[in-house]
């Protein structure tokens, strides 16, 4: 194997991405780290045999033919992936259009999002701050936004890094140990050395970068004694070490003074709440690939598997679809486990006659999806399961119809409780003749969570924004009614006990009808049963 890899490396012309990386190490990483599994060595002078030349891989036996339906696209991506040549191909710690042409277009900082959009976001933030009460009375504003640090689960074993979302939204910078300091129309980024990333943008915007070691001196030299209003979330710091450096300047330096110390977070969240066209496109893609992944999990479900097996299939399909990671630890809850909200142990065996509830999402180029589906392990709903599922589905559909601009998530939640309450009365699970307040309280015992939340770069996005705010076009929310009945709940008919069901979709608010981003994931009973019974089971 080592000899083959070395020979493959010799056939890649002018490989200059990592000047100090030996060919065997790089090719090994390249082969195993690509987002596709079929590729051909295109070097004109290649003289290797077919196996050595990396002709068609044999992953189809694992992933199925659907994974490779777009063969021409894969070939094109493969060719792009080999173009690590010339002076432009530099590594800066995150993908660039030069180093990752299969992911990014020219002038993009992150896949799908350009330098201009990031610059406009920073300018818009400063514009928003200038229109606040303090902004109208002060003309000097300094914003300080740290990145996240690297966190470790144990000695020398880091957790996968995920950037501070507000920092990422404004910069696109995906490395730890950095600070953004926009003020007026100028933007500075302090990063750890080596200092290889620059926020340089087209004319009209000044972008500079400094070593993180110079944070305190630059703060004092450039901003001390000028009576700035400082916007910094000192009560919820994201980076302890950087917070300590900033605190030395703000609170313990005689040289530095400021007019006011103001909280920033809510202002950034209000900007993030309304999505741009490119953000909506990324959210659509995130929702689509997760919907397809969950559909494949349904096909693969059978008695005797463990919940963790479904988790594994889900993650594999999401990653193969282009996701960088799952958006959160998925819930794969079979039988009575579905009545435990946020159950993530995923260790139980799938049993014939039970339902399995999966709540999962992926993160695609920084944007999350969030889907929940419930289906029978055997492929067919029992009569009690069908009755409860149809109740949840009817409430779900009616709630979707109510997703119009100007109504709020809180309004939708109250409407969902009333709709679900009427359905439960019909099943003799709630007494009749209750007042509206009593009905909502009784229903909340069967659905103890909110009907939805904002969705975007985070799964529970912009958490500082009230759910009482009226919806506007460009917002993305979830709608997720459910019914959860404990196995020992003697107040309900015995045939319903131990059943938990939730249906969740991602919804884009528009000027007219809401757009369900996750519509391709089956939720009708007939579609689920047809899918599970008329397709070949994927064996592990």
Q: Does residue 50 form part of some domain? A: no
The residue among 211, 241, 271 that closes a domain is: 271
One digit per residue, the tens of pLDDT, for the chain of length 540 reads 445 544 444 443 332 222 233 333 333 333 233 333 333 333 333 444 433 433 333 333 434 455 455 566 556 656 655 544 444 455 667 888 988 898 999 999 999 999 999 999 999 999 899 888 877 777 788 999 999 999 999 999 999 999 999 999 999 999 999 999 887 645 565 555 333 333 333 232 336 777 888 888 888 988 888 888 899 999 999 999 999 999 999 998 888 888 888 999 899 999 999 999 999 999 999 999 999 999 999 999 999 999 999 999 999 999 999 999 999 999 999 999 999 999 999 999 999 999 999 999 999 999 999 999 999 999 999 999 999 999 999 999 999 999 999 999 999 999 999 999 999 999 999 999 999 999 999 999 999 999 999 999 999 999 999 999 999 999 999 999 999 999 999 999 999 999 999 999 999 999 999 999 999 999 999 999 999 998 544 433
CB proximity list for 207: less than 8 A, separation 6 or greater: 119, 187, 188, 189, 198, 199, 200, 201
Q: Is residue 92 part of a domain?
A: no
In this structure, the answer to whether residues 306 and 203 fall within a common structural domain is no
Asked if 328 and 371 count as a contact pair (C-beta separation under 8 A), the reply is: no
Residue 496 lies in a domain: yes
Contacts of 408 (CB under 8 A, 6+ apart): 467, 468, 469, 470, 471
Residues 311, 387 within the same domain:
yes
Q: What does 115-147 look like in DSSP terms, one character per residue?
A: HHHHHHHHHHHHHHHHTSHHHHH-S-EEE-EE-
- Cα–Cα distance measured from residue 76 to residue 74, given in angstroms and rounded to the nearest whole number: 5
Backbone angles phi, psi at 532, to 5 degrees: -80, -25
Query: Dihedrals φ, ψ of 481, to 5°?
Result: -70, 155
285 shares a domain with 236: no
Catalytic residue list: 156, 342, 359, 370, 449, 453, 460, 480, 484, 502, 504
Residue 72, both tokens: 């021409």
User: 42: closest CA among 83, 72, 97?
Assistant: 83
Is 263 found in the same domain as 299? Answer: no
Question: Are 419 and 513 within one domain?
Answer: yes
Q: How many C-beta atoms surround the C-beta of residue 171 within 10 A? A: 27
Q: Which of 271, 287, 307 marks a domain boundary?
A: 271
Residues 528 and 491 in one domain: yes
Q: How far apart are CA 457 and CA 369, in angstroms?
A: 9
- pTM reported for the whole predicted model: 0.82
User: Is 70 a domain residue?
Assistant: no
Distance CA 395, CA 109 (A): 42
Q: Could you write out the DSSP letters of every residue in 72-114?
A: HHHHHHHHHHT---STT----SS--TTT-TTT--TTEEETTEE
What CATH number did the domain enclosing 252 receive? 3.40.350.10
Structural domain including 324 reads 274-534
CATH code, 409: 3.90.230.10
Q: Nearest 5°: phi and psi at 218? A: -70, -40
Are 264 and 149 in the same domain?
A: yes
Quote the CA–CA distance of 480 and 523 in Å, as a whole number.
12
479 vs 413: CA distance, rounded Å: 9
Rounded-to-5 percentages of helix, strand, coil across the chain? 35, 15, 45
367/445 same-domain check:
yes
Helix, strand, or coil here: 504?
A: strand
Q: How far apart are CA 127 and CA 75, in angstroms?
A: 45
> Of the candidates 271, 301, 319, which is a domain's last residue?
271
Domain count, the chain: 2
**94 inside domain:** no
Tally Cβ neighbours within 10 Å of residue 183: 20
Pick the closest to residue 439 from 478, 479, 447 (CA basis): 447
Tokens read off for 529:
């049963």
């Amino acid at each position: 194997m080592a000899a083959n890899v070395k020979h493959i490396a010799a056939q890649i012309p002018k490989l200059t991405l990592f000047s100090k990386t030996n060919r065997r190490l790089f090719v090994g990483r390249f082969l195993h780290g690509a987002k596709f599994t079929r590729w051909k060595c295109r070097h004109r002078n290649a003289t290797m045999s077919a196996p050595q030349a990396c002709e068609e891989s044999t992953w189809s036996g694992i992933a199925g033919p659907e994974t490779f339906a777009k063969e021409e696209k894969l070939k094109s991506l493969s060719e792009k992936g080999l173009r690590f040549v010339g002076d432009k191909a530099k590594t800066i710690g995150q993908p660039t259009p030069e180093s990752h042409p299969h992911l990014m277009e020219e002038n993009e900082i992150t896949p799908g999002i350009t330098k201009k959009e990031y610059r406009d976001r920073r300018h818009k933030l400063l514009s928003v701050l200038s229109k606040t009460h303090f902004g109208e009375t002060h003309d000097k504003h300094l914003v300080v936004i740290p990145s996240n640090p690297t966190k470790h689960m144990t000695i020398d074993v880091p957790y996968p890094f995920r950037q501070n979302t507000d920092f990422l939204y404004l910069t696109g910078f995906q490395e730890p140990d950095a600070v953004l300091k926009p003020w007026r129309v100028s933007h500075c980024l302090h990063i750890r050395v080596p200092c290889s990333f620059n926020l340089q943008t087209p004319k009209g915007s000044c972008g500079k970068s400094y070593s993180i070691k110079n944070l305190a001196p630059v703060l004092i030299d450039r901003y001390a004694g000028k009576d700035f209003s400082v916007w910094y979330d000192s009560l919820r710091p994201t980076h302890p070490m950087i917070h300590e450096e900033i605190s030395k300047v703000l609170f313990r330096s005689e040289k530095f003074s400021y007019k006011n110390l103001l909280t920033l977070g809510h202002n950034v969240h209000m900007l993030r709440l309304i999505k741009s066209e490119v953000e909506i496109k990324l959210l659509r893609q995130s929702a689509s690939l997760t919907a397809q992944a969950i559909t494949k999990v349904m096909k693969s479900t059978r008695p005797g598997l463990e919940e963790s097996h479904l988790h594994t299939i889900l993650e594999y399909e999401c990653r193969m679809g282009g996701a960088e990671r799952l958006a959160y630890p998925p819930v794969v809850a079979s039988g009575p486990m579905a009545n435990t909200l946020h159950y993530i142990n995923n260790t139980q065996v799938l049993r014939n006659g039970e339902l399995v509830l999966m709540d999962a999402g992926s993160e695609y180029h920084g944007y999350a999806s969030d889907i929940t589906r419930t289906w029978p392990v055997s492929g067919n709903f029992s009569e009690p399961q069908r009755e409860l599922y149809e109740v949840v589905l009817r409430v779900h559909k009616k709630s979707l119809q109510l997703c119009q601009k100007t109504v709020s998530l809180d309004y939708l939640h109250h409407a969902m409780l009333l709709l679900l309450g009427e359905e439960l009365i019909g099943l003799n699970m709630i007494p009749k003749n209750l007042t509206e307040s009593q009905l909502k309280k009784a229903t909340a015992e069967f659905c103890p969570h909110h009907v939805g939340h904002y969705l975007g770069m985070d799964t529970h996005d912009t958490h500082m924004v009230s759910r009482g705010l009226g919806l506007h076009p460009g917002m993305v929310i979830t709608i997720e009614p459910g019914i959860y009945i404990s196995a020992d709940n003697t107040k309900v008919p015995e045939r319903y006990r131990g059943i938990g069901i939730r249906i969740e979709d991602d919804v884009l608010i528009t000027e007219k009808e809401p757009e369900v981003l996750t519509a391709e994931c089956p939720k009708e009973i007939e579609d689920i049963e047809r899918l599970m019974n008329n397709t070949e089971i994927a064996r592990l």
